[in-house]
Structure 1
């Protein structure tokens, strides 16, 4: 039997828990490519007319955005060293795409989803320019894409039906569609989809005593993941002009996730037994938002309102048996956990903009938000008779409430025809309380200045330099204790967690490449105070837990090269896009005091290459990506994730008509595994007694897909995705 891990220690048991998955590399999106030579826009923008994308036969605005030279879609989420954070408020969640110059009033719906809902034939053109052209929310971004939609009346729609055969023969099916109706100055957009995605994988776990080198346990696993995220979304817009518009949007998504894991456990010196892990998550979300823009004092005043309601009802059950199921093995241990939570957010925002105020462009405004979380965690252990025994976690019942406000202004001015300066100041304040198993009450206040220089000297050159202060937002769930049955550990809550503060310095330079392409270099430096990572805390009974906390000052440097190369001179219709990043992170470890990397997804290098050829009615291509190993430095383990090799996809598409596309896809073309290595310290790294090395390997193997996309209508009049 393996050494007792953390949950087993708490429950006075000797169980070793299973895994959901080693960090399998996700499948990338469709290979990116680009169109023909851009047209001249303003002195600070580059314009691509819809006809430039016709060779790719796009079916949605998302297909078009993916083909813009040198452009990478930013979904607008905020990342700390520990991963993605659900950002509260409206200002901090902007991506890098706007529609007719306006930001979409939604947070529950990603930019990818919003773009996929717009039929390609409604897109007249796209414009790429620096972020300051589109308001203060985008001022720190070197590239923002403005999707210009047709004003012509008409109906356009598209439907996508997809199947994917998994390695064991299972056929996954999914269908979604959208329609856009334009009449006069009003437009209606409706979309719906089944959101079905079932993934299957198999793999092994090998546990070894690090001190003696002796084997401890071997596990053979089969996992089935099933996401069912059907959705219904709609929006209405009345856009009379840039300074007079009304918009409203609604999204409903009753999200479901189910995991079934079969685990054949072979402990050294003990009998084989069959364990199971079951997860049933029911996490619906509904969101309604809108905005009103009206002319005022030579500018425009805009009111934004947004309300999001998220429920969480998650159940995890792990069963350990005393033998094989085929031999009638009985439940003699395990855990059962139920997490129930309600997460609400209500936002109001008022802003005023004017293009020329004493020679400056100006924007000022204020935002208020009310955020709440009401969460209860119930954890039980199964005893030798299969009965449930409650385990009390530190801070497993809590209510979090935050009243947050922000006021801001930004100014910009052209210093010369080729040089522009933009700057601004945000003042953020919040009052946050935590009640329940603990009590916390604090007020946070931050000044966040920013300044940027944009230089476009001619001959195709464009460069940008910016400095800004960013304050990360706290994840409310970091205040709550919860067990991870898949990894046999407890994440303790920390009501005293502080948001990390970062000075971000960015520099960018780009230039056309081979006439139709682009080469771009991004450089960055981050100086982070109160870096959010993991710390060791102790409860009233003297038990120690790993928890989120602040560990000091961290530094990050990075360089990203983007090369978008049209190679039609080599082979007609060929295009290659390369993205590569190298970076270095440093912070002092809170346990040893020695310098180390940041926790989380900060690999020393990562790259991707997309190769695509479009010729007549046919398109085909491959996409490959890889990254270096990255590690989560917890106080009781080093949790490293790495790929078994480069990850690849491939596709072939045939377009019998301009409205129809049929594609054959290959996912995980190289049969790449996702791997994970955990070095477990008992009881923790500060005072280790035992050390176990756990190596996990997971593989979803090669999947083959078949997709049909069909467009209807043609009211947009753009010439994209129309019959010849």
Structure 2
């Protein structure tokens, strides 16, 4: 389990909502009560959210009936990575976490929210079927808040966050600033046991771990009128340090490992938007991102020392523009283009017992130049039927100078979506889209894992995987705040990204690679129901269940199998009960943590994590002081990692080693205190 900051963990736990749509167009002056539908836009006033005792815009978004929050994609580029929440009709010009951005806006700054289904005039849906538009007050009092968080694990390990947020929106000038300092512990780095079986018999190793780190996060944005439009500038700077210390003890002696990662990401962006008249809207974006990651991993025992070091430096430069034309009410055209330059410089060294080892592609530079142009149309044909169509043309060049590679690609990416309201409470939608995934630059470079002595080779010949997605979704809303949806999705993939085997003399390596065509089938059920009519006043139950079946031909055995790293079942169950008059609320969450399998060249690796649970209680005083306490993982979640290592190629040669590593995460107590001024 990866290390994370306390603030990020809180946001992740909060994002448990459901998905369903409310029908057709509602004008602001005659909007129906919340939960009732009269069109493709439903407006929610701030009074609706008081029952949930919200304090941020993110809290409000999570309580929109029948809506599931999507924070966006972390892939390179800008136009294809948007989340499904807009602020004042525009996407923020940042690729920072959208949940953080919304959490940094005080609820007192929000005028109302709009749930948009299928499309609305002047709104770019970014390929989503549903969008929530957060409309801020045009003139609001400045808001300032302080948040303190304390966490304790196992009664001995402590961590905390201190965060300050400032919001101002006056005379068309908006300023949002947030900054925090934090330290954290990695709740996945826990003491455990590893059982190994080989030709020598069964051995037991005890593992003692401790991990955590510290850092800061800062984000600021400012917008103001300019040249008849509005200009926005924003930036982030989030340095952090993560350290993990591990001791391995068995009958042969003791080994010690120390891992350090220094991560320094930053970005600077700007946006200009203006109405040009005659139904024309202009939107321009520029964004520059940089990140430097330095890893140092050192292992030593009686037999010697292994030292692995890697330095990653990535940069991204984006210029994006869009022109929208509302020809008439219900028909909008968009045309735009994006130019992106990305680069990765990675250098690594691997030394054992003072002898450098030559790992292929341990030093690599990757460059990508990409231009993507698009034209789209959104047409509300009738009150019940809307269509959205788009064609993107992507032209890109991937260059790896050290491998003398420079390949150019052109992809045509059409998208079609239709939404039909069978009734005011039931909708059916269909989407067909051609998608081209972004290549992971890390796949071009080799990496070494000292704990298992496993080397994964980089592959400078990687190409992006492509797919056709067809999905049908049926949705129904009920009881004002209730929603249920069932989605069936089918993907046909080309050039599936997985692992391949590389022979280097007598040595067999695992490498990142493309392994051909695959098929993916998903069933996604979501339920969000109020429980008042089931004798639980002010209660809400949310269930989210996803089943994923994948099939690809194994490049080693030729037999069908699952795609590596795709968990077959994912679910969350969340219950909450709000007592607004008393200022109190409580609830619990249960979340599946995963069952994962990776098919390596000479290994079969499995990981299993038991469900994650938490229970919480919150009290809000009349003077805007919020106290929340959470008991996370009260039953002590177990997880295990199993390895089956073969003498040669996996499944085609004898097994020479099996390993089973088990561990248990202790309960975690978290307390947070927030004051809004």
> Normalised by the size of structure 2, how large is the TM-score?
0.92
Q: What is the Cα deviation at residue 544 of structure 1?
A: 2.6
- Cα pair 2:593 2:612 within 8 Å, conserved: no
Provide the C-alpha distance between the structure 2 equivalents of 1:458 and 1:654, rounded to a whole number of angstroms.
40
- Where does residue 191 of structure 2 map in the other structure? 202
Q: What is the Cα deviation at residue 543 of structure 1?
A: 3.2
- Where does residue 295 of structure 1 map in the other structure? 275
Q: What is the Cα deviation at residue 149 of structure 1?
A: 1.2
Provide the C-alpha distance between the structure 1 equivalents of 2:123 and 2:468, rounded to a whole number of angstroms.
18
Residues 591-600 or 196-205, more deviating: 196-205
Provide the C-alpha distance between the structure 2 equivalents of 1:20 and 1:444, rounded to a whole number of angstroms.
34
Query: Residue 91 of structure 1 is aligned with which of 71, 79, 82?
Result: 79
Provide the C-alpha distance between the structure 1 equivalents of 2:75 and 2:543, rounded to a whole number of angstroms.
30
- Cα pair 1:37 1:516 within 8 Å, conserved: no
Pair 31,549 (structure 1): closer, same or farther in 2 beyond 3 Å: closer
Provide the C-alpha distance between the structure 1 equivalents of 2:405 and 2:614, rounded to a whole number of angstroms.
49
Q: What is the Cα deviation at residue 628 of structure 1?
A: 5.8
Provide the C-alpha distance between the structure 1 equivalents of 2:516 and 2:192, rounded to a whole number of angstroms.
38
- Where does residue 92 of structure 2 map in the other structure? 104
Provide the C-alpha distance between the structure 1 equivalents of 2:305 and 2:44, rounded to a whole number of angstroms.
58
Q: What is the Cα deviation at residue 136 of structure 1?
A: 8.7
- Where does residue 83 of structure 1 map in the other structure? none
Higher relative contact order (CA 8 A, sep 6+): 1
Provide the C-alpha distance between the structure 2 equivalents of 1:97 and 1:423, rounded to a whole number of angstroms.
20
Deviations 1:65-106 (A, max 9, x none): 2222232221212xxxxxxxx511111211111111100111
Provide the C-alpha distance between the structure 1 equivalents of 2:123 and 2:339, rounded to a whole number of angstroms.
16
Aligned length: 652
Structure 2 spans left out of the alignment, 5+ residues = 4-8, 19-31
1:104-503 correspondence runs (5 A): 104-107=92-95, 109-130=96-117, 132-133=119-120, 138-200=125-187, 201-209=190-198, 215-238=201-224, 244-266=229-251, 271=252, 273-296=253-276, 298=278, 299-320=280-301, 322=302, 332-356=303-327, 360-382=331-353, 388-436=354-402, 438-503=403-468
Q: Per the alignment, in what secondary structure is the counterpart of residue 92 of structure 1?
A: helix
Deviations 1:476-502 (A, max 9, x none): 111111112233211101011111110
Q: Per the alignment, in what secondary structure is the counterpart of residue 45 of structure 1?
A: strand
Structure 1 spans left out of the alignment, 5+ residues = 1-18, 78-85, 323-331, 383-387, 713-724
Query: Residue 578 of structure 1 is aligned with which of 543, 550, 558?
Result: 543
- Cα pair 1:635 1:686 within 8 Å, conserved: no
Q: Per the alignment, in what secondary structure is the counterpart of residue 206 of structure 1?
A: strand
Moved over 3 A (4+): 30-34, 39-42, 131-139, 357-360
Pair 474,120 (structure 1): closer, same or farther in 2 beyond 3 Å: same
Q: Per the alignment, in what secondary structure is the counterpart of residue 549 of structure 2?
A: strand
Deviations 1:574-620 (A, max 9, x none): 111111112211111111111111111x2222211111111122111
Q: What is the Cα deviation at residue 170 of structure 1?
A: 2.0
Q: Per the alignment, in what secondary structure is the counterpart of residue 635 of structure 2?
A: coil
- Cα pair 1:632 1:638 within 8 Å, conserved: yes
Provide the C-alpha distance between the structure 2 equivalents of 1:490 and 1:121, rounded to a whole number of angstroms.
52
- Where does residue 614 of structure 1 map in the other structure? 578
- Where does residue 496 of structure 2 map in the other structure? 531
- Cα pair 1:57 1:658 within 8 Å, conserved: no
Q: Are 2:515 and 1:551 equivalent residues in the alignment?
A: yes
Provide the C-alpha distance between the structure 1 equivalents of 2:195 and 2:577, rounded to a whole number of angstroms.
43
Q: Per the alignment, in what secondary structure is the counterpart of residue 230 of structure 1?
A: strand
Residues 655-664 or 177-186, more deviating: 655-664
- Where does residue 385 of structure 1 map in the other structure? none
Pair 562,120 (structure 1): closer, same or farther in 2 beyond 3 Å: same
Cα root mean square deviation, aligned:
2.4
Provide the C-alpha distance between the structure 1 equivalents of 2:161 and 2:623, rounded to a whole number of angstroms.
23
Q: What is the Cα deviation at residue 689 of structure 1?
A: 4.1
Deviations 1:633-689 (A, max 9, x none): 112211112123x32001111222251111111111221112221212233316534
